[in-house]
């Protein structure tokens, strides 16, 4: 298709594809140049670089939501504007998307979490009646107010861990007293030279602990309460997506 795409026509096409496909996760070929976005409150905008690894043109729609994995651009209400919201990407090309904070009121004493969505749809079919698939990617955007106490790199060391027995088995509970979100890559309880990894999270939200909140991790391989010398070893992701390993005592 060599005709110029109008914004209205493209929006209708992508919205229809999104509704029909359910935007199931797949092998998206438009690569986002980061694993997370940090938006400092003092910045007028932040940029996200995209690169197409596709062999054919695709249409791309970008929007943000506040945590609904089933969000669509017409239903998502967030204090950010993505520019451009809809565009075409040819094979091997790059595109910069600008995200601007509209200034609507957000908490000033802690971070706020949003999600950037990227939906890619084939621009045209190579064969008649060929099935077209839409692929959707989501990454976190952390809005970081100015003048938060301490520093984000110190947050993992301030987490408080405790072990608890429940009807479902042994769990680790982590409390986050800091104003920052902490994202986990790996969590294991160590006791008597045995490692007991946490049960895999069913969603991205299950890999985090929010400011002032608690998160529980199930420990399927731990059948009895551990001793008082138990520790937790965990990996967190920093602002650049780099893994950092920490350890802490576990209380009961």
Tell me what pLDDT residue 217 has: 95
Cα–Cα distance, 231 to 191 (Å, whole number): 7
In this structure, is the dihedral angle defined by the CA atoms of residues 63, 66, 69 and 75, taken in order, positive or negative?
negative
Give 61's contacts (C-beta < 8 A, 6+ positions apart): 10, 11, 14, 18, 73, 85, 86, 118, 119, 121
**Where does 53-129 show beta strands of DSSP type E?**
58-65, 80-83, 86-89, 94-101, 112-122
Cα–Cα distance, 219 to 150 (Å, whole number): 31
Nearest to 252 by CA among 187, 170, 133, 150: 170
Tell me what pLDDT residue 122 has: 86
Residues lower than pLDDT 50 in the chain: 1-7, 9, 16, 18-26, 128, 131
- Sheet order of strands, 160-166 included: 160-166, 169-175, 214-218
Tell me what pLDDT residue 2 has: 38
Tell me what pLDDT residue 236 has: 98
Tell me what pLDDT residue 202 has: 67
Helix spans in the chain (H): 7-21
Give the count of alpha carbons within 13 A of 97, CB side only: 28
Nearest to 72 by CA among 135, 33, 119, 121: 119
Give 74's contacts (C-beta < 8 A, 6+ positions apart): 15
Please give the domain boundaries of the chain with CATH numbers for all domains. 7-144 (2.60.40.10), 152-249 (2.60.40.10)
In this structure, is the dihedral angle defined by the CA atoms of residues 51, 82, 182 and 217, taken in order, positive or negative?
negative
- Cα of 106 vs its chain's centroid, Å: 19
Tell me what pLDDT residue 168 has: 84
- Mapping DSSP to helix (H, G, I), strand (E, B) and coil, where does residue 238 land? coil
Cα–Cα distance, 197 to 138 (Å, whole number): 26
Tell me what pLDDT residue 19 has: 47
List pLDDT tens digits, range 204-251: 777 999 999 999 999 999 988 888 889 999 999 999 999 999 999 999
Cα–Cα distance, 203 to 184 (Å, whole number): 12
Strands 135-144 and 94-101: unpaired
Tell me what pLDDT residue 170 has: 93
Cα–Cα distance, 61 to 9 (Å, whole number): 13
């Amino acid at each position: 298709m060599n005709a110029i795409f109008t914004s209205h026509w493209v929006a209708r096409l992508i919205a229809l594809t999104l509704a029909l496909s359910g935007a199931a996760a797949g092998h998206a070929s438009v690569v986002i140049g980061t694993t997370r976005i940090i938006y400092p409150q003092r910045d007028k905008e932040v940029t996200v670089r995209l690169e197409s690894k596709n062999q054919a043109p695709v249409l791309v729609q970008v929007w943000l939501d506040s945590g609904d994995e089933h969000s669509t651009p017409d239903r998502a209400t967030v204090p950010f504007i993505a520019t451009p919201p809809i565009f075409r990407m040819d094979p091997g090309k790059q595109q910069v998307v600008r995200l601007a904070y509209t200034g609507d009121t957000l908490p000033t004493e802690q971070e706020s979490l949003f999600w950037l969505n990227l939906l890619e749809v084939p621009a045209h079919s190579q064969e008649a009646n060929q099935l077209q698939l839409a692929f959707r990617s989501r990454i976190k955007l952390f809005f970081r107010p100015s003048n938060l106490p301490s520093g984000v790199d110190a947050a993992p060391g301030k987490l408080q861990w405790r072990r608890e027995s429940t009807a479902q088995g042994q769990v680790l509970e982590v409390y986050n007293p800091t104003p920052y979100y902490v994202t986990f890559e790996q969590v294991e309880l160590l006791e008597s030279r045995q490692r007991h990894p946490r049960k895999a999270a069913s969603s991205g939200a299950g890999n985090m602990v929010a400011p002032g909140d608690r998160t529980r991790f199930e420990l399927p391989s731990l059948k009895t309460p551990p001793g008082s010398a138990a520790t937790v070893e965990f990996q967190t992701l920093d602002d650049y997506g780099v893994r950092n390993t920490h350890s802490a005592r576990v209380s009961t």
